[in-house]
Amino acid sequence: MILCGTSTPAGKQYQRRVMVTMSLYVLVLVAAVWIVKHTHPHGWLLYTIAVVPAVPMLAMMGALGVYLQEEKDEYIRLITMRSLLVGTAALLAMLVVNDFLRSISGAGALPVFTSWIVFFLVFGLAQTVQTMGNRVKDDA
């Protein structure tokens, strides 16, 4: 199975970058929660602390952009582009439903990290489905 072209050099590079950004994200998130718990910041300091964990997440999207530029295999790039579209569609659809319910019935916002989980889950699922659908036997 090819997930973001893990068999290609660009795919391996992408995996490495994702690992680094994910590790950074966990570190920054734990640090942010620890700081808030122990120092109880308010106002602009709280906003600043809340925005910092988004930076590694942005870097992850950047890594995906760089991967799309570096990947030489046209077919794998196409699969990744399609998966990105499917993931974005799922993300936006979920947000639109939530927006509607929030403005009509006063429902609450989505739980934290739901969007990230949905996006990357659908992104990975779309890649898997496409790869499985186009699988060629070894002797073909």
Partner 1 sequence: MAWNWKKMNSAKKSLIRRGAVALVAYEVLWAVAYLWVDRAKLEGPMLWVPAALTTLPVVGLIWVMARYLGEEVDEFHRLLVVRCLLWGTAAVMTSVCFHGLLQLLGWKGNWPAGVELGMFFVAMLAAKVTYKVANRVPADADGFMGREGAR
- Which residues make up the interface to partner 1 (CB under 8 A)? 32-33, 36, 46-47, 49-51, 53-54, 57-58, 61-62, 64-65, 68-69, 81-82, 84-89, 91-93, 95-105, 108-116, 119
Count the helices and strands in the chain (H runs, E runs).
5, 0
3/91 with CB nearer partner 1: 91
Nearest to 62 by CA among 27, 13, 128, 118: 13
37/137 with CB nearer partner 1: 37
Angle between helices 54-70 and 9-39 (to 10 degrees): 170
Decide if 32 contacts 49 (C-beta within 8 A).
yes
CB of 126 to partner 1, least distance (A): 11
CB of 43 to partner 1, least distance (A): 11
